[in-house]
Amino acid sequence: MNFKIIPSVFTLANLLLGVISLILTMDNEYIISAAMILFAMILDGMDGRLARRLNATSTFGKELDSLADLVSFGVAPAILVYALEMRRLGIAGLVICIIFALCGAVRLARFNVLNISDYFVGVPITAAGSLMALIVLVGTRVAVPNIVYPVIMVLLSYLMISNIKVPKK
């Protein structure tokens, strides 16, 4: 068996969970949809570690990871939050959710071209998307003011494309 494909299998599983999250959102299964995003976060953390341990890092793997991350932590959380809370804001809610996904894409593209190993520039999309999923889960258990969703989404959108340095683990 070629062990070098294992990290890509984890990356594809991350992507699969992002797609499942989108489908669950369409079926109004918001809690399970948010959980899929959080499970995708776990897989995203594992694929890079496995690639380094197995000496299987590659440009292909990095690009595949970014594509998976855009779906799982950019598009899926944006659609989830739009369907659950932001739809009530009309076009403003739609624009905020679109901006979140677009800023995530810019963040990933910038990460791929900078090749900085000591820190991240801007908040990683994985953190931003997972935080939105976590807020959805909390919001289904306790009363979260409606203003929280748009404010946090706008803030995270900005932080993803900002120049702040976020230490790597």
Domain around 148: 3-167
Whether the model pTM is above 0.85: yes
What span, in angstroms and rounded, lies between the C-alpha atoms of 87 and 65? 29
**What pLDDT shows up at residue 168?**
83
- CATH number, domain of 143, equals 1.20.120.1760
**What's the number of CA atoms in the CB half-sphere (13 Å) around residue 147?**
0
> Of the ranges 107-121, 132-146, 154-168, which one carries the lowest mean pLDDT score?
107-121
State the average pLDDT for the chain.
94
* pLDDT tens figures, 39-98: 999 999 999 899 989 998 888 999 999 999 999 999 999 999 999 999 999 999 999 999
Question: Could you give phi then psi for residue 142, rounded to 5 degrees?
Answer: -130, 160
Q: Retrieve residue 35's tokens.
A: 């959980």
* pLDDT tens figures, 25-54: 999 999 999 999 999 999 999 998 999 899
What span, in angstroms and rounded, lies between the C-alpha atoms of 107 and 73? 12
Number of domains in the chain: 1
